[in-house]
Structure 1
Amino acid sequence: MVDWPTPLVRDIARRRCVIVVGSGVSRHAKGVNGEIPPTWDKFLTECNTELRGGPQNHISDAIAQGDLLHACEWLHRAYDAEWSAKLRAKFSAPKYAISDVHRLICRLDARVIFSLNFDDIIDRAAQEIYSGTSIKKTYQDPDVSEFLRGTERYLVKVHGSLDNPIHMIFTQKQYARARIAASAFYNAFDSALMTHTFLFLGAGYRDPDINLILENQNFTYSESYPHYFLSSAGMHDDLKLSLRSNRNLQVIDYDKIDDDYSGFKLAIENLLGLVEVQRGQIASSQEW
């Protein structure tokens, strides 16, 4: 059983929580031939292996050292015009089906979901659960800040999507360029961090996605009220303390149970049950 913090359950129930989904959520989907979407480091490793002339040692070393931004930049340059096709072959062509995990996350009914993923699995789940009423935005949309004050349900693609590969954020250079070109989104992101609780699901603390968002978006605030990061059990207490003190992230443990992380689904089911009870109490008392 996951020890879900009461303030988090309350904020989700009151739709004061932004849910951020990463590649660990996508891994619960299956393609037509049983494929699962690759994690970023696995994708880069496969791209390096499939290079004409064989894998490049400096790229392998960068991946091994966790320097995924440079590895991606070099692979992007090596594949050149073939890069978009490579992305779609890995993240779209397998026709990944919506998983129960994606549906459970959408049933939490957060008003805003941020997706760090390029695939469209959570996008399709949102349209299914919300009967086609979910509004999708990408970071470069001029009206993306609508999610701050709008009353609809929003899915925001933080790093772009396969629909428009040229605007996907995959490297340090692309990120730096986006910070200037899409300043409206990043200003809205900063505002959301101050006014909402964030819950990170399926995101690794070593992933460049998380590092860039937390460090470049000035995630460390002076107030003690934390944001939350769901992680499989086993993280050292020292690391948990560092994430809390440096990034204002409180780690929530769950038992992954097996190599398929089936415990993740159980954890979200448990959270959904708590949120539904809380919403029932709010409706009964009318203490909005």
Structure 2
Amino acid sequence: MSINWPQSLVPEIAERRCIIVLGSGASAGSLSSDGKTRPPNWSKLLIDAANLLSADDKKVVLALVANEKYLDAAEIVVNRSNEADYAEFVRDVFVEPRFEHSEIHEQVLALDAKIVVTTNYDDIYETYCKTGKGSQGYNVCRYYESHALNDVRSKMRIILKAHGCVSDPQRTVLARTQYHRAQREHTQFFNLLDSLFLANTLLFIGCGLADPDFNLLLESTNIKCPSAHPHYAVVENGVPLPLRQATRTVYNVECLEYEAGQHQEVVDALKELNNKVSNWRRTHS
């Protein structure tokens, strides 16, 4: 099956009224410098992090992950592991492999959105943006930095890192309590994110509906304002109908499905979307 891009989404992207939100799946196609390792999804990240815990805590975390209760598992990892050990774990997972960018990163950059929000700790996308044609035009703002509003008002393309970065592992956000603390301590950033999410169309790429990053981002942002224009999430098919309906009703997010496990379909679909956006920009400039 192929992703059927809504016709109304094309001008939203072309006229830069669409914010692209990147989750862990966007980096799944990246490879380490030795060609042996890929960035983990949420399940693998939490399973590996469970090795930082005692045997009893690890058993609980693995059971929670098996039931896709990722936020609960993350809470145990964060609260029961040694802080220094956890920071070192984040570096080992996301820095040491020296990941290359993926084809999805290439296609997202080509869409040339004004704003990309990412919940990923890795710096793969922003590193890629700072090469080639993106070298002069991109600025990165992490949730604990203060220049996000200035960036939005500038001509720069910007990357907002809502859950922190490998550059400061102890400020990465994994658990719900960490996210709520980040909101309290960095109100300006998250208020801005609220406003941006209300005023723009969102396109989620690499965010599963059960992923903590997807749920935390939507939990913190009031995007329930009635609108005839939905937001969109590229997801594997097979999402239960009640979950799809709830996501649409509560958050106004419509699922754009592709065949489960066939991630090349996402790349091909993004290439098609890029062609449509490029044609729109040429004919409406």
Q: With structure 1 as the length reference, what TM-score do the two structures score?
A: 0.91
Q: Give 2:118's match in structure 1, choosing from 115, 123, 135.
A: 115
Give the equivalent residue in structure 2 for 1:18. Answer: 19
1:154 equivalenced with 2:158 (yes/no): yes
Please identify, of 182-191 and 49-58, the stretch whose mean Cα deviation from structure 2 is larger: 49-58
Q: Give the Cα separation in 1 of the matches to 2:143 and 2:29.
A: 25
Give the equivalent residue in structure 2 for 1:86. Answer: 89
CA contact (8 A) 2:259 2:265 kept: yes
Alpha-carbon shift at residue 79 of structure 1 (Å):
3.2
RMSD between superposed Cα atoms in Å: 1.8
CA contact (8 A) 1:23 1:39 kept: yes
CA contact (8 A) 2:3 2:257 kept: yes
CA contact (8 A) 1:2 1:270 kept: no
1:63 equivalenced with 2:65 (yes/no): yes
Distance 1:223 1:68, change over 3 A: same
SS of 2:224's partner is coil
Q: Give the Cα separation in 2 of the matches to 1:2 and 1:86.
A: 36
Give the equivalent residue in structure 2 for 1:235. Answer: 239
Q: Give the Cα separation in 2 of the matches to 1:278 and 1:108.
A: 12
Q: Give the Cα separation in 1 of the matches to 2:86 and 2:243.
A: 36
**1:166-200 CA-partner distances (Å, limit 9, x unpaired):** 22111122111111111111111111112111100
Give the equivalent residue in structure 2 for 1:247. Answer: 251
Alpha-carbon shift at residue 67 of structure 1 (Å):
2.8
Dislocated runs of 4+, deviation >6 Å: none
Give the equivalent residue in structure 2 for 1:286. Answer: none
Distance 1:241 1:147, change over 3 A: farther
Give the equivalent residue in structure 2 for 1:101. Answer: 104
SS of 1:135's partner is strand
Q: Give the Cα separation in 1 of the matches to 2:136 and 2:39.
A: 24
Q: Which runs of 5+ in 1 are unaligned?
A: 284-288
Alpha-carbon shift at residue 70 of structure 1 (Å):
3.2
SS of 2:19's partner is strand
Give the equivalent residue in structure 2 for 1:33. Answer: 35
Q: With structure 2 as the length reference, what TM-score do the two structures score?
A: 0.92
Q: Give the Cα separation in 2 of the matches to 1:253 and 1:40.
A: 20
1:74 equivalenced with 2:76 (yes/no): yes
CA contact (8 A) 2:203 2:232 kept: yes
Alpha-carbon shift at residue 49 of structure 1 (Å):
4.0
Give the equivalent residue in structure 1 for 2:185. Answer: 181
Give the equivalent residue in structure 1 for 2:210. Answer: 206
Q: Give the Cα separation in 1 of the matches to 2:52 and 2:86.
A: 12
Q: Give the Cα separation in 2 of the matches to 1:92 and 1:112.
A: 24
Q: Which runs of 5+ in 2 are unaligned?
A: none
SS of 1:228's partner is strand
**1:210-269 CA-partner distances (Å, limit 9, x unpaired):** 11111221222222321111112333444322211111001112335xx46211111111
CA contact (8 A) 1:30 1:36 kept: yes
SS of 1:44's partner is helix
Q: Give the Cα separation in 1 of the matches to 2:124 and 2:259.
A: 24
Identical aligned residues as a percent = 28
Alpha-carbon shift at residue 50 of structure 1 (Å):
5.9
Give the equivalent residue in structure 2 for 1:48. Answer: 50
Alpha-carbon shift at residue 47 of structure 1 (Å):
2.2
SS of 2:207's partner is coil
Alpha-carbon shift at residue 55 of structure 1 (Å):
6.6
Q: Give the Cα separation in 2 of the matches to 1:233 and 1:280.
A: 33
Give the equivalent residue in structure 2 for 1:272. Answer: 274
1:194 equivalenced with 2:198 (yes/no): yes
Return the letter of the residue paired with 1:208. P
